Amino acid sequence: MPSLKDLKMRIESVKSTRKITKAMQMVAAAKLRRAQESAEAARPYTERFNAVMGRLAASVGKSEGAPKLLSGTGSDQTYLLVVMTSERGLCGGFNSNIAKLARQDANALLAEGKTVKIITVGKKGRDALRRELGSHFVQHVDLSDVKYVGYGNAQGVAASILERFDAGEFDVAKIYFAQFQNVVSQIPTAQQIIPADFEAPAEAGAEDGAFYDYEPDEQAILADLLPRGVATAIFAALLENAASEQGARMSAMDNATRNAGEMIDNLTIQYNRSRQAVITNELIEIISGAEAL
């Protein structure tokens, strides 16, 4: 049974831990607001961009003259998986859920005889996948010095992916991230970015009754916009990840703070009982000594 001194030291230690988790929860809550606003502000642009690209892609189709980023290489033998996680931990299952989804897809592709290459964005994803899939790593992007994710960060990742695609290193590229829903819900998501996969509208001009004529032609526009589409998808995913990370950390630190409080209560009860037992024993010794006299 631990002594009174040990119990007191443990109570103080848990109290110190509770102060840290409470502070981390407050910091995450402050960062979450900005991250959530950025993610939500980017969604309308991304949705509208994808709608325009979907209409253009539907008109061009997979014809011979279609850009390679849209039509693909004609093969699906080699896959590039871009796994985006955080640089820091203490955010619940945020990183592990993304890594789990990427691991499942990678193993399924390998079982089909496909070739898998992996780019990790964020240290936690690299650490989670290194043991099982480390031999498939081709690049790691370190964002530990980045305070707030910007479009330039997405452009750097997109440039590397496009350069590898132009060099013929892969046929299909997917990105993995967590889509932010709320503080307690972040959905691990896989999105194909090469060849571009846009949802075409049900009918041309069905949204507003208008038909569109493009100048220059659709193929020329797609050739210019498709590389931007890759960067846009990556940027949107990074913003969703930033909001999801702070939401997950806020929730995890809130749980840790409450658990620390419960542990303090239990240790305090144990300390009081032990202290009462010591006092009782001392009283018994005094009474026994007095009776002996």
Query: Is the residue at 34 inside a domain?
Result: yes
Q: 243 and 261 share a domain?
A: no
Residue type, 68: K
Domain containing 275 equals: 4-20+254-292
| CATH assignment of the domain containing 65 | 3.40.1380.10
The structural domain count of the chain equals 2
In a domain, 25, yes or no: no
d(CA 72, CA 150): 28
Cis upstream peptide for 216 (omega within 30°): yes
pLDDT in tens, 273-287: 888 888 888 788 788
**48 and 193 co-located in one domain:** yes
In a domain, residue 100? The reply is yes
The tokens for 20 are 């840290």
Same domain for 258 and 246: no
In this structure, are 60 and 152 located in the same domain? yes
Instruction: Name, in order, each residue with C-beta under 8 angstroms of 2's C-beta and a sequence gap of 6 or more.
Output: 10, 274
Instruction: Give the pLDDT confidence score for residue 204 in this predicted structure.
Output: 45
Tell whether 169 and 50 lie within a shared domain: yes
pLDDT at 205 over 50: no
pTM over 0.85: no
Radius of gyration (C-alpha) of the chain in whole angstroms: 28
For residue 102, is it within any domain? yes
Question: What distance in Å separates the CA atoms of residue 174 and residue 192, rounded to the nearest whole number?
Answer: 4
76: which 2 tokens? 């699906």
Q: In angstroms, rounded to a whole number, what is the distance separating the alpha carbons of residues 36 and 186? A: 12
Q: CATH number, domain at 267?
A: 1.10.287.80
Q: What is the pLDDT of residues 103-123, one digit of tens each?
A: 999 999 999 999 999 999 989
Phi-psi region of 172 (alpha: psi -120 to 50; beta: other; left: phi over 0): beta
Share of the chain above pLDDT 90, in %: 43
Asked if 186 and 276 sit in the same domain, the reply is no
H/E stretch holding 263 reads helix 218-292
Lowest-confidence pick of 5-19, 38-52, 240-254: 38-52
Do 16 and 55 belong together in one domain? no
Would you call 90 exposed, middle or buried from its count of C-beta atoms within 10 A (0-12, 13-18, 19+)?
middle
Assess whether 176 and 50 both reside in one domain: yes
